[in-house]
Amino acid sequence: MNRVVKQDQPPKFWDRLFAPSSCLAVITTVDAQGRANAASYGTCTRVNHEPVYIAFTTSAGKDTANNLLATGEFTVNLPRWERSTLEKVRICGLPFAPGVSEIEKAGFTALPAKVVKPPRILECARHFECRLEWTREWAGGRLMVCGKLVAASVDADCVDDNGYLVWDRALSAHYCGAPYGGGFVAAFQTMFVDRPYEGPEAEQAERDARAMFKEG
């Protein structure tokens, strides 16, 4: 007899229930004059493993959207789950006028990116430089953005020799969702679990993974 009680949630609670949903990110772009812009995003997520593609949703007509459509590049900066950084992330979410640098307003430090024009943010641990692949306008003024990763960098003490994250240094942060206001959650515990299933599907999955990552 299953004694777990499931509670249906109304639509107004769906966003706060699905949390964390993706990495908290500060995304930089540049306008046609080369002026840097930064904005905070809770919807930024990796949508393909190999090659890596990263997507997020923004508002059509805002600086990030306008800059992307004009210059076609963005840099995703992933902040740590630490109070001083998260306060700056909240400032980058304010509606500053076009041409105003949220990086300066928030007290972040711009660091040139390796390949694209939008800068990295020094205080963030991980940086993903992307070229725009496609956009789609939907849901009444929302612009979905998908970019191909062309360069990635990280604070050296946040990864091991195999490129795996040292989670208690990278301190991955996630936005709890708009209804939470300033709520952020940390996710930096890892658990490697077995797959207690033997069958052709498991062997096929191993072959697919090897082919995808060109290993062995």
Ligand X SMILES: Cc1cc2nc3c(=O)[nH]c(=O)nc-3n(C[C@H](O)[C@H](O)[C@H](O)COP(=O)(O)O)c2cc1C
Binding of ligand X by 59 (CB under 6 A): yes
Binding of ligand X by 43 (CB under 6 A): yes
Distance (Å, whole) CA 130 – CA 153 = 12
Q: How crowded is residue 62: how many other Cβ atoms within 10 Å of its Cβ?
A: 16
Binding of ligand X by 39 (CB under 6 A): yes
Q: Which of 35, 62, 105, 131 binds ligand X (CB under 6 A)?
A: 62
| Shortest Å, Cβ 108 to ligand X | 13
Give the nearer residue to ligand X in terms of CB position, either 95 or 179.
95
**80 by DSSP, 3-state: which?**
strand
Binding of ligand X by 46 (CB under 6 A): no
Question: How many CA within 13 A on the CB side of residue 44?
Answer: 25
Binding of ligand X by 64 (CB under 6 A): yes
* Site size toward ligand X, by CB under 6 A: 18
Q: What is the CA radius of gyration of the chain?
A: 19
Q: How far is CA 153 from the centre of its chain?
A: 14
Region 181-200 residues binding ligand X, contact defined as CB under 6 A: none
Decide: 82 and 44 in contact? Cβ < 8 Å. no
* Stretch of 4-12, 37-45, 118-126, 150-158 lying at the interface with ligand X (CB under 6 A): 37-45
Query: Which residue number has the CB closest to ligand X?
Result: 93
Binding of ligand X by 28 (CB under 6 A): no
Q: What string of DSSP letters covers 184-204?
A: EEE------------SHHHHH
Decide: 167 and 159 in contact? Cβ < 8 Å. no
Binding of ligand X by 179 (CB under 6 A): no
Binding of ligand X by 41 (CB under 6 A): yes
Counting runs of H as helices and runs of E as strands, what totals does the chain give? Answer: 6, 10
* Stretch of 58-66, 111-119, 129-137, 208-216 lying at the interface with ligand X (CB under 6 A): 58-66
Q: Which residues bind ligand X (CB under 6 A)?
A: 37, 39-43, 57-59, 62-64, 89-90, 93-95, 175
